[in-house]
């Protein structure tokens, strides 16, 4: 066993070896030439946009490229991808090691190493072939509509499968004519099985001739494979890791800051021509493997709106291949406005494509061209004029607090927490109850807090998501100055959108605060025994996780802690929950867009909530509260379900008086 090894090029004449190496060099030359052509297309974009820290590159490559974190799922697609990927990686490494052992200064291809090498290559070779077969089966019989499909996919799968089969044929024929015997033969298990069954009775000379033919077929297929990578789906094996490493590091909830000096220099507020995207964004278009994961998660696609995040990427890629030009001639305005910026597509994409950045850049250009009209345009106008999208005088900001004795920054300048109420909870009659419940609970929990009152103004979140970056930056600068004037360090807010903007986007303007969503602070108060657990109605309850709390900012436990304190184990999760929640339809400024009832995301979400059998739907966002109240009202059976913010729930359930519970619940119902 110590002498166990195998020949390399044993049956291949020297002149054939020269032809082989020339063929491989030509094939790799074609590959490099075509990749360079892609790089030239990416270089048409704006310089920069790439992540520069190599530690981030390595971390991401390990997590997303090698460990394939986003591909793990209990699905046929995930299984076949794992088999194909692991098979391809191990066979490539194995072939490289063989080349090094044969042509390099070290001869290590023998003994125990050789035996383990042979077994490993056989195991992963089988995995690779099974992966190919499963991929063919899925494409032929189980293809979901979101999975991209081209004729070249069949060519690629056929090529990969043939590579696997001819590889084993070469192994078996070599073993046959070199007369490899057990126990060494056992380690090349597949080759030995073929040798002892299919090749039985074939003489050595015939086996040698057959080996030569199989070897050449295998070599030609390898050369074809390399030369055609850039024109088929396999390109993502190159572009995917490049994009995974190169995508700039930023919190998911922070959009790119438009630099005003840049605007003055270029006159551009967004992206109108493809070349106005960054080079990294253009590279990302080529990284798409058309897996359809983004489309499957998209609430706009699910409700029949004219938006598929996958189609946006593929259409822009098509435009890039045609030489670039006007993005709005390729991506319709309706497509861009349909996005709720829920980030589900971004969360799902295995190669970290930034769909929301692409859409946001094109929206900014539409706003620059004055292409927005109707209610959303009015909301922006009102943010500019009245500092809130509801068009109410900002002096009314404390109307919700009437009779509660809520401390303000003037009456309590030594506050620990600033309660940032947000526009919805300040002005929307239904959401005002959330502000009242939150303030009451903070008081009861002994929190030293204050509100800004009329000094608070819209964070600018809806303006930024809709695409009006100027308006957003104006509001951000004013608010950062206000917060500095009152020496604010800690902020608590019942609005996940304010929470996200204050925490992730205001640092772009020098605003650094410790920002908590009210669920986190309330959960802390419950944990510390500063808010009593209450009487339960015993009714089943479910939770709609707000996108900007759960998915974008990763907060999923605090809401459940608060619900746990307010109920007695009757909690039921929806299938899409936690970080994998589903949008309510209000984000991205969609709150102010008209929508036909059939296309309402909230209706779809209400059905999911109803299917749990819950009689109460809790949420933790004033916009979700409104959307889900509408969604329930428009869904059969939804009229019997109460929709409450977690603060309202906690306040109502911890009150021993059942009259108190009934009063708040009936208030909520009468609003719906
Ligand atoms: S952010 Fe949400 S709505 Fe927009 S494209 Fe992505 S998944 Fe669809
Ligand atoms: S953009 Fe990402 S998630 Fe969507 S199809 Fe392409 S690779 Fe898949």
Mean pLDDT, rounded, for 3-14: 90
Report whether pLDDT(656) > 70. Answer: no
| pLDDT above 90 (res 162) | yes
Task: Please report the pLDDT score of residue 652 as a whole number.
Answer: 87
Residues 661 and 629 sit within 8 Å (Cβ to Cβ): no
Predicted TM-score of the model (pTM) = 0.91
Q: Tens digit of pLDDT for each residue in 245-261?
A: 999 999 999 999 999 99
CA distances from 612 to 298, 579, 603, 650 (A): 22, 18, 15, 21
Q: Which of 228-237, 302-311, 500-509, 601-610 has the lowest mean pLDDT?
A: 228-237
Q: What is the pLDDT of residue 5?
A: 87
Per-residue confidence band for 7, with pLDDT thresholds at 50, 70 and 90? confident
Sort residue 402 into left (φ over 0), alpha (ψ -120 to 50) or beta.
beta
pLDDT given at position 536: 66
* Whole-angstrom distance, CA of residue 95 vs CA of residue 169: 16
Q: What is the pLDDT of residue 534?
A: 64
**How distant, in Å, are the alpha carbons of 8, 122, 153, 167, 194 from that of 175?**
12, 14, 33, 13, 10
Protein residues whose CB sits closer than 6 Å to any atom of ligand 2: 288-294, 309-310, 313, 348-351, 353
Lowest mean pLDDT among 134-138, 142-146, 177-181: 142-146
pLDDT bracket for residue 657 (50, 70, 90): very low
For the chain, what percent of residues have pLDDT higher than 70?
96
Interval between CA 288 and ligand 2 midpoint (Å): 5
The ligand placed nearest to the CA atom of residue 313 is: 2
pLDDT of 660 above 50: no
| pLDDT tens profile 372-394 | 999 999 999 999 999 999 999 99
Instruction: Name the more confident of 616 and 661.
Output: 616
Running DSSP on this structure, what letter comes out for residue 188?
S
Output the average pLDDT for the chain.
93
Atom of ligand 1 nearest to the CA of 341: 1
Q: What is the pLDDT of residue 599?
A: 85
pLDDT at 237: 93
Ligand 2 atom 7, closest CA? 288
CA distance 125 to 114: 16
> In the structure, what pLDDT confidence band is assigned to residue 569 with cuts at 50, 70 and 90?
low
* Separation between Cα atoms, residue 461 and residue 484, nearest integer Å: 19
Residue 299 CA, ligand 1 centroid: distance in Å: 7
Residue nearest to ligand 2 atom 6, measured at CA: 288
Most confident listed range (59-73, 138-152, 282-296, 643-657): 282-296
Cβ 342 under 6 angstroms from ligand 1? yes
Backbone angles phi, psi at 573, to 5 degrees: -80, 145
Residue 355 has pLDDT above 90, yes or no: yes
Closest CA to 460 of 249, 267, 257: 257
* 658 pLDDT higher than 50: no
586-622 pLDDT, tens digit per residue, is: 999 999 998 888 889 999 999 999 999 999 999 999 9
Give the atom of ligand 2 at the shortest distance from the alpha carbon of 293: 3
List the single range of 174-183, 202-211, 534-543 with lowest mean pLDDT.
534-543
Tell me which of 146, 252, 294, 300 to substitute to probe ligand 1's pocket, judged by most ligand atoms within 8 Å of the beta carbon: 300
How high is the pLDDT of residue 497?
Answer: 98
The confidence score (pLDDT) of residue 339 equals 97
How many other CB atoms sit within 10 Å of the CB of residue 444? 14
Q: How remote is the C-alpha of 153 from its chain's centroid?
A: 25
pLDDT at position 407 over 50? yes
Structure tokens given for 15: 């002149």
Classify strands 514-517 and 541-543 as parallel, antiparallel or unpaired: unpaired
CB 350 within 8 A of CB 288: no
Q: Choose which residue among 339, 356, 467, 580 to substitute to test ligand 1 binding: the one with the highest number of ligand atoms within 8 A of its C-beta.
A: 339
Token digits of residue 175: 């073993």
Q: Poorest-confidence range of 213-227, 428-442, 562-576? A: 562-576
Specify the pLDDT at position 670: 44
pLDDT of res. 664:
39
């Amino acid at each position: 066993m110590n002498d166990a090894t195998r020949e390399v090029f044993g049956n291949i004449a020297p002149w054939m070896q020269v032809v082989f190496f020339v063929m491989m060099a030509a094939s790799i030359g074609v590959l490099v030439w075509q990749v360079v052509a892609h790089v030239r297309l990416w270089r048409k974009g704006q310089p920069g946009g790439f992540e520069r820290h190599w530690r981030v590159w390595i971390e991401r490559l390990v997590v997303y490229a090698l460990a394939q974190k986003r591909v793990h799922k209990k699905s046929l697609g995930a299984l076949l991808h794992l088999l194909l990927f692991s098979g391809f990686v191990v066979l490539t490494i194995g072939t490289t090691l063989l080349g090094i052992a044969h042509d390099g200064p070290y001869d290590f291809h023998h003994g125990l190493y050789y035996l383990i090498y042979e077994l490993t290559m056989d195991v992963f070779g089988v995995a690779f072939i099974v992966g190919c077969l499963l991929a063919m089966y899925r494409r032929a019989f189980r293809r979901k509509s979101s999975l991209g499909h081209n004729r070249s996919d069949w060519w690629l799968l056929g090529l990969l499968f043939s590579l696997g089969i001819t590889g084993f044929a070469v192994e078996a024929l070599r073993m046959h004519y070199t007369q490899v015997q057990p126990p060494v033969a056992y380690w090349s298990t597949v080759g030995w099985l073929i040798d002892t069954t299919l090749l039985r009775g074939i003489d050595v000379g015939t086996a040698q001739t057959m080996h030569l033919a199989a070897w050449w077929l295998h070599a030609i297929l390898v050369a074809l494979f390399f030369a055609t990578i850039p024109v088929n789906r396999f390109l993502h094996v190159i572009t995917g890791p490049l994009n995974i490493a190169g995508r700039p590091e930023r919190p998911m909830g922070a959009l790119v800051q438009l630099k005003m000096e840049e605007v003055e220099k270029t006159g551009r507020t967004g992206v109108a021509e493809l070349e106005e995207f960054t080079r990294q964004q253009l590279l990302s278009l080529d990284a798409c493997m058309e897996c359809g994961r983004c489309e499957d998660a998209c609430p706009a696609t699910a409700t029949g709106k004219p938006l598929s995040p996958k189609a946006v990427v593929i259409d822009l890629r098509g435009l890039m291949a045609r030489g670039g030009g006007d993005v709005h001639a390729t991506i319709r305005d309706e497509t861009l406005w349909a996005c709720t910026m829920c980030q589900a597509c971004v969360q799902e994409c295995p190669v970290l494509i930034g769909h929301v950045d692409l859409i946001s850049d094109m929206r900014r250009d539409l706003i620059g061209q004055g292409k927005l009209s109707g209610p959303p345009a009015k909301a922006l106008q009102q943010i500019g004029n009245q500092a809130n999208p509801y068009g109410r005088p900002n002096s009314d900001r404390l109307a919700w607090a009437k009779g509660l004795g809520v401390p303000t920054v003037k009456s309590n300048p030594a506050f620990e927490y600033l309660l940032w109420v947000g526009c919805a909870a300040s002005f929307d009659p239904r959401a005002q109850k959330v502000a009242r419940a939150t303030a009451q609970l903070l008081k009861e929990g002994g929190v030293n807090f204050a509100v800004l009152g009329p000094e608070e103004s819209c964070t600018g979140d809806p303006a930024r998501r809709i695409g009006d970056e100027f308006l957003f930056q104006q509001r951000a600068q004013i608010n950062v100055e206000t917060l500095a004037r009152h020496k604010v360090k800690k902020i608590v807010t019942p609005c996940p959108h304010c929470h996200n903007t204050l925490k992730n986007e205001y640092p772009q303007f020098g605003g650094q605060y410790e920002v908590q969503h009210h669920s986190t602070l309330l959960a802390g108060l419950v944990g510390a025994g500063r808010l009593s657990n209450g009487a339960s109605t015993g009714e089943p309850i479910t939770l709609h996780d707000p996108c900007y709390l759960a998915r974008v900012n990763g907060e999923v436990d605090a809401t459940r802690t608060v619900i746990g304190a307010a109920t007695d184990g009757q909690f039921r999760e929806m299938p899409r929950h936690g970080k994998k929640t589903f949008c309510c339809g209000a984000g991205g400024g969609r709150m102010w867009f008209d929508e036909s009832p059939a296309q309402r995301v909230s209706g779809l979400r209400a059905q999911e909530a109803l299917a749990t059998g819950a009689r109460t739907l809790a949420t933790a966002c004033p916009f979700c509260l409104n959307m889900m109240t509408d969604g329930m009202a428009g869904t059969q059976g939804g009229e019997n379900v109460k929709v409450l913010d977690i603060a309202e729930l906690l306040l109502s359930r911890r009150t021993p008086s059942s009259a108190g519970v009934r009063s708040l619940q009936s208030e909520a119902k009468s609003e719906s």
